[in-house]
Structure 1
Amino acid sequence: MAPTTRPGSPRPDTSDTGSPRHDARSASPAEPRRVQIFQVSTLYGAATVAAALDAGLFGAPGEARRLLLVSNNAEIPETAVRLETMTGYERIATRFDEVLDWNETIRPHHPGTWSPRPEEAPLWQRVLRTAWDLAAAPVELVVESIQVNPARALATVFAESPVHVYADGLMSYGPTRDELSHSIACRLRRVLHLDLVPGLVPLLLTEYGVGAELVPDDAFRAVLREIAAASEDSAENAALTAAVATAPTALLLGQYLAALGILTAEEEEDLHVRMVRGAARAGHRSIVFKPHPTAPASQTAALHEEADRAGVTLTVLDGPLLAETFYARCRPRLVVGCFSTAMITAAVYFGVPIARVGTGTVLARLTPYENSNRVPLTIVDHLVTDLESGTEPTVPDGAPASLAPLLRAVGYCMRPATHPGLRPEAVRYVAGHPGEPHFPSERLAELALPLPART
C-alpha cells in the first residue's frame, strides 16, 4: 500500500524509483531518519495524540518522520463512520508527514482480529517497510489499547521497536485487559493520558513497571478549539448551527450499549427516554441528543415522542462530530450520559455540570466481571450525580479520597492474578464496605474476600 500524502502537501517525487523520494531533511543512508507511527481509530484518540505532539512529548517537529496510521475497528467497518470524514480530522492530519490506512494494508483481514503468527512477523515487517517506504529506519510505535489488535499486531510486526501507549478514555484507570507477552511488555515506555480525573493515577500497565505521563490540559483544550473551528467550514455546520439556534441548555449522550450486548435495543431506548424526561424535569426546555455514530436512526423516534409529552424542544445532532465540538460552540448548562468519557470531558475541560442516568443498572448487568467497561462505570457512578435523584448536577472537583481505594479494590477483583499486591487493600476495602454493589457476592466468594453479613 502506498502512503497517502499529508493534506495540502506536494505530491512525492517518484520519477526515478516509483516510490517516494526522501526530501532534503532526511538523514543520510548511513543514519536513517527515525520514524514514529501513531495508530488511531477515533477522533478523540487522534486529538489526544495531537495534543501530545503539540506539547513536545514526542520531540520537536522534524526530528522524526511522523506517520498517522488510521484503523477502523468497527465490527463492519464498511458501514461505520470513517475517521477521515469526522469534522476536524483534516486539521489533526496536518501534524503528520503521511497518513496510512491499516484496513487497506491488511485487507481482507479485520483489524480487530488479525495479527501475524510469530514466525510470519519478520516477513510482514519487510512488507510494511517496503509499502510505507521505511527502509532501515528505526521505528517507534505510539498505539492505543496495546492488549488488543491492531496495536498488538503492530508491536508483533515491529518486534524491536519501543512502544508508547496513549489512553483516550477512563479505562486507563483500570487494570490491563489481557496479559502481554514478555517480548512486548519489555518494550513499553510510558502511558500517556489525559487528566480526566485530577488526582487519580492510571493502573493500566503498572504491573510491567510502566509509568504514566500527563498530556497537558492546555494542549488538549487547544486541539479541541481547533476541531470546533473546523466545524464552521464543514458540511455539518448547518446541522450544528441549527442545533445551536434552538438555544439548548442540555446535551444528552447516546452510547449504543446494545452493540456491546450490555442492554437490549429496547432497554437502551428506554435509557435515552429517561435522559429526556430527567432533563425536562430539571427545567431544560431545549435539549440536544447526540447519538452514537453506529446507532440506528429509528432509536430517536421514542425520544421525540417523550419530548413532545414533556413540552420540550429536542434536536438530534447525528453528524460526524465530536460532542466536544458542541461544547465549544454552545456551552450547555448540563451534559447527561451513562458512562461516556465525553461527560467527563465536558466537566474537566469546559466546566459544564454533568449527570448520569442508568449507570447503576448497567454496572449490575455487566459481565464478565473483568469487562473493562467496569472501570468507567465505577468512576461515573462514584463521581457523577444521578439525574433521577433530584440532586443538582455539579462539576466534579477531582478525585475524592474515596475513589482510589475503590478503584484499586475493583482492579484487584477484575485481575487478581495480575495485581496480587492489591489483595490486602481489597480485603480492607470490601470488609469496610459490606454490601457495596461494586462487589457481587459471587465474585467475593470466588476470590475468598469478606462476604457481607447475612441479615
Structure 2
Amino acid sequence: MTANPRTQIFQVSTLYGAATLAAALDAGRFGAREGVRRILLVSNNAEIPETALRLDAMTGYDRIATRFDEAIDWNEAIHPHHPSSWSPRPEEAPLWQRVFRTAWGLGTAPVELIVESIQVNPAKALAAVFAESTVEVYADGLMSYGPTRDELPQSIACRIRRLLHLDLVPGLRPLLLAEYDVEPELVPDTAFRAVLTEIAEAAGDDRQLAEAAAAEPTALLLGQYLAALGILTADEEEELHVRMLRGAAAAGHTSVVFKPHPTAPARYSTALHEAAEASGVRLTVLDGPLLAETFYERCRPRLVVGCFSTAMLTASVYYDVPIARVGTDTVLERLRPYENSNRVPLTVVDHVVPDLESGEGPAVPGAAPATLTPLVRAVGYCMQPRLHPLLRPETAEFLRALQGEGGAERYFLRERLTELGLPGGDGRRGASRLRRRLVRSGRS
C-alpha cells in the first residue's frame, strides 16, 4: 500500500446500514480493495448517546468490521458536540479538515465519502469538512423511496455520484436525490442476504436468542420508536403493540416474540404480558443487541407484524415470510408536519401490506403494484413541492382521479392540498394563500 493511499470513509450509524455497505463492498460496488484505505466512521445519533446501545456492541458488528482497515468513533472525534447538531462554520471547515487528516493519518490522500442521510448531520458535516471530496449516498431502508428532506447546498449536491439502495419494494424507484439527477443503484439481493446470514452466524451462542428459539415462536412483533419521535404517546404505542399481539393470536399464533426497536427507550409495562396471558399466547421479549433479521434466519417465523418498519419488508423480500401491518391508519392521521420523512415509508406499507385487524390474511407483497408509483410520487410532491415542481401536473391528475374514488383523505391532508392549490383542497382558500405567497415573494 502506498504512503498516501486513496481513502474511502464510510459513515454509518446502524448495523442494518453497515450490512448494506458490507453487501455493496462484497458485490464490488466500491471497486477493488487494493491500494485503497477503508475507514468505517461510526456515529451514535441517539438523543443521549451515552445511554444508547453502541453499534460495536451489536451482534455481528465484528464480522462487518473486517471489511475495513479501521473503525473510528465520530462521537469521540467531535466531542463534546452531538453528531446530529454539530456542523462546522464555513470559515472553520478547512481547519477541521486539517485536524481530521492529522488525527486519522490521512496525509494528503484524496478522500471519498460514502454517507447516509446526506441532508442532515453527520453526513452533511462531513461533506462540508471534506469540501473537495466526491460523495456517494447509501440508503438502508424505506426512506430511500421518499423525497430529500431538505434542499441541499449546491456545493454538496453537485458532488453526489449515486444512491445505493436495497430493492425492498421491487419496481419502485427512489425519489431521494432525484431532483439532483442522482442515479439510484441497487445493492444485489444475494449479497445482502449473504451478509445477513453472516451476522446471524455470529449469534450462534447468543443465550437470549437461544431461549427465544426454544419457545418455538411462529410470529414476530416489531416495535418502533413512535413515542420517542412524538408521533404517538407512550401509552398509545404500548396499545399498538398489544393490538399486534391480539392480531397474531387471532390468526392462530400461540408463541410470539416481541422485538423492540434498537434505539427505542427501555420502557415496558405489564400490558403486553397481560394481553398475552389473556389471549393464551406465550410471549418472549427479545431485547438484546440483535437485528430482527437474525431472528428470521434462526427461527423462520410464519408471520412478521409491524406498523411501518423496514424490517417488515426485509422479512418478505429476503426470507419470503408473510407480513401484516397494524396501526398505519392512526399514524397517518397523527403524522406532522406533512413533510415528515416517515410519511413515504408509512404510505408504502399501508398501501402494499395487508391489515392484520381487517381480516386480510398476511402476505408476501412481491413487486410493487401499478398503483404504488403514482401514489408515492404524488405524496412526494406534496411533501416537497419546491424540490419536485415537475411532478405537479401528474399529482393534480392523480388527485382528481382519486377524488372520484373517495380515497384522497387517507394519504393527503386537506389543509396541505389547500395550501398547494391542488384538487381535494379548498380552492378559494388555496388561491388566496397562493396570492399572498406571491406578494411576499415579490417584496423580497
Q: TM-score range by the shorter chain?
A: over 0.9
Tell me the SS of whatever aligns to 2:305. Answer: strand
1:247 aligns with 2:216: yes
Alpha-carbon shift at residue 350 of structure 1 (Å)? 0.3
1:31-60 per-residue CA deviation (whole Å, 9 max, x = no partner) reads x31000000000000000000000000011
1:213-252 map, 5 Å: 213-233=185-205, 237-252=206-221
Alpha-carbon shift at residue 26 of structure 1 (Å)? 2.0
Identify the residue that residue 425 of structure 1 maps to in structure 2.
Answer: 394
1:82 aligns with 2:51: no
1-side partners of 2:47 and 2:158: how far apart? Answer: 31
1:390 aligns with 2:359: yes
Which runs of 5 or more residues in structure 1 are unaligned? Answer: 1-24
Identify the residue that residue 14 of structure 2 maps to in structure 1.
Answer: 42
2-side partners of 1:159 and 1:198: how far apart? Answer: 35
Identify the residue that residue 2 of structure 2 maps to in structure 1.
Answer: 26
Contact 2:6 2:111 survives alignment (8 Å): yes
1:68 aligns with 2:18: no
2-side partners of 1:206 and 1:63: how far apart? Answer: 32
State the AA in 2 paired with 1:343: M
Tell me the SS of whatever aligns to 1:165. Answer: strand
Structure 1 range deviating more: 266-275 or 433-442: 433-442
State the AA in 1 paired with 2:371: S
Alpha-carbon shift at residue 63 of structure 1 (Å)? 3.2
1:312 aligns with 2:281: yes
Alpha-carbon shift at residue 298 of structure 1 (Å)? 4.0
1:447 aligns with 2:420: yes
Shift of the 124–266 alpha-carbon distance from structure 1 to 2, 3 Å rule, reads: same
Tell me the SS of whatever aligns to 2:144. Answer: helix
Identify the residue that residue 363 of structure 1 maps to in structure 2.
Answer: 332
Alpha-carbon shift at residue 300 of structure 1 (Å)? 4.7
1:375 aligns with 2:350: no
Identify the residue that residue 332 of structure 1 maps to in structure 2.
Answer: 301
Contact 2:415 2:425 survives alignment (8 Å): no
2-side partners of 1:380 and 1:285: how far apart? Answer: 25
2-side partners of 1:298 and 1:204: how far apart? Answer: 33
Tell me the SS of whatever aligns to 2:283. Answer: strand
Alpha-carbon shift at residue 408 of structure 1 (Å)? 0.4
1:289 aligns with 2:237: no
State the AA in 1 paired with 2:65: A
1:118-137 per-residue CA deviation (whole Å, 9 max, x = no partner) reads 10000000000000000000
2-side partners of 1:39 and 1:103: how far apart? Answer: 12
Identify the residue that residue 88 of structure 2 maps to in structure 1.
Answer: 116
1-side partners of 2:117 and 2:192: how far apart? Answer: 20
Identify the residue that residue 345 of structure 1 maps to in structure 2.
Answer: 314
2-side partners of 1:298 and 1:368: how far apart? Answer: 26
1:193-227 per-residue CA deviation (whole Å, 9 max, x = no partner) reads 00000011111101111100000000000000000
Alpha-carbon shift at residue 297 of structure 1 (Å)? 4.3
2-side partners of 1:352 and 1:294: how far apart? Answer: 24
Alpha-carbon shift at residue 295 of structure 1 (Å)? 3.5
Identify the residue that residue 369 of structure 2 maps to in structure 1.
Answer: 400
Tell me the SS of whatever aligns to 1:232. Answer: coil
Shift of the 146–26 alpha-carbon distance from structure 1 to 2, 3 Å rule, reads: same
Alpha-carbon shift at residue 294 of structure 1 (Å)? 3.7
For residue 321 of structure 1, the aligned residue among 290, 293, 314 is 290
2-side partners of 1:70 and 1:346: how far apart? Answer: 26
1-side partners of 2:109 and 2:129: how far apart? Answer: 15
For residue 146 of structure 2, the aligned residue among 162, 174, 187 is 174
2-side partners of 1:448 and 1:295: how far apart? Answer: 38
Alpha-carbon shift at residue 451 of structure 1 (Å)? 1.7
State the AA in 1 paired with 2:79: R
Contact 2:228 2:265 survives alignment (8 Å): no
Which runs of 5 or more residues in structure 2 are unaligned? Answer: 428-444
1:143 aligns with 2:115: yes
Contact 2:353 2:365 survives alignment (8 Å): yes
1:259-270 map, 5 Å: 259-270=228-239
Structure-1-length-normalised TM-score: 0.92
2-side partners of 1:222 and 1:338: how far apart? Answer: 26
Identify the residue that residue 13 of structure 1 maps to in structure 2.
Answer: none
Identify the residue that residue 22 of structure 1 maps to in structure 2.
Answer: none
2-side partners of 1:75 and 1:295: how far apart? Answer: 11
1:209-257 per-residue CA deviation (whole Å, 9 max, x = no partner) reads 1100000000000000000000014xxx111011011110000000021
Query: CA RMSD, aligned part only?
Result: 1.2
2-side partners of 1:438 and 1:186: how far apart? Answer: 32
State the AA in 1 paired with 2:109: A
Shift of the 391–156 alpha-carbon distance from structure 1 to 2, 3 Å rule, reads: same
Structure-2-length-normalised TM-score: 0.94
Identify the residue that residue 442 of structure 2 maps to in structure 1.
Answer: none
Tell me the SS of whatever aligns to 1:141. Answer: strand
Alpha-carbon shift at residue 397 of structure 1 (Å)? 1.5
Which of the pair is proportionally richer in helix?
2
Alpha-carbon shift at residue 364 of structure 1 (Å)? 1.2
Identify the residue that residue 30 of structure 2 maps to in structure 1.
Answer: 58
State the AA in 1 paired with 2:146: G
1:6-17 map, 5 Å: none
What stretches of structure 1 move > 3 A for 4+ residues in a row? 294-298
2-side partners of 1:261 and 1:297: how far apart? Answer: 16
1-side partners of 2:284 and 2:145: how far apart? Answer: 34
